[in-house]
Chains A and B, each alone.
Chain A
Amino acid sequence: MKKLTILLIVLILLSIVLAGCTNSAQKTPEAEKAEKAPTAETSDELKWPDGKTIQIVVPFKAGGDTDFHARTYAKYMEKILGAPIVIVNVDGGNGSVGSIQVRDAKPDGYTALFFHDSMLMNKVVGVTDFAHEAFDVCATGIMDNSYIIAVNSKSKYKTLDDLIKDAKENPGKIKYASSVGGYTYYVGRKLEELTGADFNIVDAGGGADRNAALLAQKIDTNVNPYGVMKPYIDSGDFRVLAVFSEKRSSLFPDVPTAKELGYDIIAHRAYFLAFPKGTDQRIIEKVANAMEEVSKKPEYAEDIKKAYCVEPAYMNTADTKAYLDSALKEFEDAKDMILGK
């Protein structure tokens, strides 16, 4: 019995010591993090990237639009920065899982996040509790302002006016495809608010699924970037009614803007690069400059035109921040609308 008590005491002591060890072990990386950031700033010469691999996290699966834009950028930036760039796909939670991974990464310039406006939408709908303010935003590489509204060519709607008029006369009958809480949902609600039309906003899956649904006329109208619907526009299956941009696109100049038609709605999505908070400002500047250089390359413009029918659009660090701030405010003001209330 005595032996057992001694053993017990020893065990308890041991576990306390062990617990103490793990605590201190947990502290060290954090302490390191806190120490590293300032030292990097105080050293005079920037040694980054020093030929070391840079990881860019894409918070979606391989093969999507975000993945494409990140990889195309990486292809050209590798040469400019003189360091290999690896794209890591961390899918989940509409991009929030990958975002958190980068937010919590070491701010040494070797991990970055490539994301778009959905980061803001995630905060507004409550998927996450942070947006771009939790990062050191670098720059915007692409601004996709090719959002169009289209119908099946067999449908009776020849113009945006036809569609809006019908949606007013038959409230709740015209099926507008979108996912609740998504960007195109917001566009649809804005369109309703502006015109007094009443759509039946239904979920019909992602871009490709919605194409199929529109082709089979299971839905009446669909809003998506031009590139997503391009094959069907080219084949004559879909009719484009308008583009939600400030001015007509040079890649499809025949399509009128919604604004010209009297519906003042602008839709866009910025694909930006962000580093964990506390990253050396010089690194951010260097990468931002590299991104600007890429955006001016004609080969690059050709790549993105072929794949997604968009044009390069670069925004520097300050402009990107300002853009994200205003976009976040816009979404927050429209929170109830986005949540479908």
Chain B
Amino acid sequence: MLESFAIGAQAILNPLCISLLIIGIIIGIIFGAIPGLSATMALALFLPITYSIDPIAGVVLLVSLYIGGISGGLISAILTRIPGTPSSVATCFDGYPLTLKGEGPKALGVGIVFSFIGTIMSTVVLIFMAPWLARVAIKFGAYEYFSVALFSLTMMVGLSGKSLVKGLISGFLGCVFATVGMDSIASVQRYTFGNVQMASGFNILPVLIGLFAISEILITAEKAKHAQQIETIKVDLKSIRGFGFSLKEFFEQKWNALISGLIGIGIGILPGIGGGVANVLAYGVIKNRSKYPEKFGTGIIDGVVASETSNNAAIGGALVPLLSLGIPGDTVTAMLLGGLTMQGISPGPLMFKEHVDMVYAIFLTMIIGSFAMLFIEFYGLRVFAAMLKIPKQFLLPGIFIFCVIGAFGVNNRMFDVWTVLFFGAIGYAFNKVEIPAPPFILGFLIGPLMEINLRRGLMFSQGSFIPFLTEPISALFLIAALFVIVYTVYGEYKKQKSAIVSK
């Protein structure tokens, strides 16, 4: 192993690779931080460039863009309540309330440090256990995926906020909107109204920025109209020390970080789920097992820790099936795979034997990249926090422009821009009737996964539902889902009962 690291180090410790690594991290952070631009887009933009440079240098650039892009999303999530990427949706829940309390820099510090920890955790797992984990991951077939998806959907409960019913409405609307377009098995067009643009359905990025960014801009604009002046959030930049939080607070989070990290790695390994789900799921789980679940959403660092550890941990997780099986787990790793294939390297069972230099170059990029990210964001902390001083009437229109550009950039077509505006209107309406948007995103991401695996499973079993219950891994997740549902319904029942008694 040491020898392999030496080979990897030899490959990347040169001025070109190191400068590409630092550039990659910085650009990644910027893409992640700007709502509308995402890690996926950063990779898409730089992928063609890597075709013409040395394979290792190209992959170093792509991996560092990936790490920076996933972490950068926390900045806008915490400071403006607009998630920069799908991976930082849950970071908003407690990050923004912290900012409102004037503790924005602390939230940023926590997010940065735990992003780092998440990346390192998953890198360690990737280095030592990748081939073994990959063999476990392929045990997950249609039945198992269906059950994991169903279990993930039950996490809507944790995201519903005050009203469970409204949360469920939001979540199921998400599932419904995800059905628009060609169905993934028989190519039947659903809800497309004969419009060919609709045939490919709604892309997650325009939906996300519509729901979160555009609606937030509309709401702020509306408030400003009535209040005449938009309140600027107070932030004291001079008093920031280190990362803005104490060592004691850090150690209090150790179990949260560990559990969130493991969730991130686990979700990352399962192809097709990825960081967009990991952060939301980890937030739900950490909230459920917390001694003070009622405090979540009011601005406590536990929520930021859960989200940021898990989304970065999903990176290492997603690289497990990519490197050892050649299966991309999400859109970003799909592009990494493209980059590798273009260079004549096909990830798969022989990757760890035939391309030791490449594999260890990736590992080292992740380790060095994590440290680079930590330093860059540490020094950037004050700059990011100073963003709060920009009056919102200037900041938000700027964000709006990026949202529209970003939406167009998803697929080079106007349809996605209309999608952003449409979901912006939906997000605004949700806000008016107090329906929470996060369950919508979860439903939108998980719904299709659940459907396709149910249908695939039924094709495999030729119409029988029995294997869903008898396959052990599948059964385990179904029982877990049932447990969450019973536990929640019982909790609601108790709450209602005590409300009646107290009346």
B52 CB contacts on chain A under 8 angstroms: 75
A21 part of interface (Cβ distance < 8 Å): no
**A211 x B326 contact (CB < 8 A):** yes
Cβ of A321: which chain B residues have Cβ within 8 Å of it?
A: none
Q: Does A232 contact B349, Cβ atoms closer than 8 Å?
A: yes
Residues of A within 8 A of B339 (CB): 63
In the docked arrangement, what's the CA distance between A306 and B186, Å?
33
User: Across the interface, do B200 and A92 meet the contact criterion of CB distance under 8 Å?
Assistant: yes
Q: A97 and B413 in contact (CB under 8 A), knowing A63-B47, A211-B325, A216-B139?
A: yes
A61–B139 touching, CB < 8 Å: no
- Which residues on the B side are within 8 Å of A134 (C-beta)? none
Residues in A neighbouring B189, C-beta threshold 8 A? 127
Query: Chain B 179-223 against A: per-residue CB contact (8 Å), 1 yes, 0 no?
Result: 001100111010000001101110000000000000000000000
Distance between Cα atoms of A180 and B185 in the complex (Å) = 6
Q: Is A213 an interface residue (CB 8 A)?
A: yes
Roughly how many angstroms separate A117 CA and B412 CA in the complex, as a whole number? Answer: 23
The reply on A289 being an interface residue by CB < 8 A is no
CA distance A18 to B51 in the complex (A): 50
Partner of B411, one of A71, A90, A201, A216: A90
Cα separation A230 to B186 with both chains bound (whole Å): 28
Give chain B residues whose Cβ lies under 8 Å from the Cβ of A203.
185, 452, 455-456, 459
Residues of B contacting A231 with CB < 8 Å? 326, 346-351
> Does A97 contact B197, Cβ atoms closer than 8 Å?
yes
Residue of A nearest to B338 (CB): A63
A interface residues, how many (CB within 8 angstroms): 54
Chain A residue nearest in CB terms to B333: A63
A91 at the interface (CB under 8 A from B): yes
Q: How many residues in B have their beta carbons less than 8 Å from beta carbons of A?
A: 51
Q: Is the CB of A212 within 8 A of B342?
A: no
Residues of chain B with a CB closer than 8 A to A209's CB: 271, 327
Closest to A214 in B: B138
Within 8 A of B (CB), among A70-101: 71, 75, 87-94, 96-97, 100-101
- A94–B183 alpha-carbon span in the complex (Å): 11
Residues of chain A in range 90-127 having any CB-CB distance to chain B below 8 Å: 90-94, 96-97, 100-101, 125, 127
Report yes or no: A127 in contact with B200, Cβ–Cβ below 8 A. no
Asked if residues A235 and B459 are in contact (CB atoms below 8 Å), the reply is no
CB atoms of A218 and B182 under 8 A apart: no
By the criterion CB–CB under 8 Å, are B341 and A208 in contact? Answer: no
Q: How far is the CA of A232 from the CA of B134 in the complex (A)?
A: 14
CA distance A291 to B79 in the complex (A): 52
Which residues does chain A contribute within 8 Å of B455, judged by CB atoms? Answer: 203
Task: Check A208 against B327 for contact (C-beta < 8 Å).
Answer: yes
Q: In the bound complex, what is the Cα–Cα distance between A307 and B137 (angstroms)?
A: 26
13 CB < 8 A contacts A-B? A63-B47, A68-B341, A87-B48, A93-B199, A94-B187, A97-B197, A201-B459, A203-B185, A203-B459, A211-B327, A218-B460, A307-B344, A308-B341
Interface positions of B (Cβ within 8 A of A): 44, 47-48, 51-52, 137-139, 141-142, 181-182, 185-187, 189, 196-197, 199-201, 271, 321, 325-328, 331, 334-335, 337-339, 341-342, 344, 346-351, 411-413, 452, 455-456, 459-460, 462
**Chain A residues near B (Cβ < 8 Å):** 61-64, 67-68, 71, 75, 87-94, 96-97, 100-101, 125, 127-128, 172, 175, 179-181, 200-205, 208-209, 211-213, 215-216, 218, 227, 230-232, 234-235, 237, 303, 306-308, 340
Closest 7 CB pairs of A and B: A63-B338, A231-B348, A92-B200, A306-B344, A93-B199, A235-B349, A216-B138
15 other A-B residue contacts (CB within 8 Å) besides A91-B200, A203-B452:
A62-B44, A62-B338, A63-B341, A71-B342, A88-B412, A92-B197, A97-B200, A100-B196, A127-B199, A200-B460, A211-B325, A215-B325, A218-B141, A231-B347, A307-B341
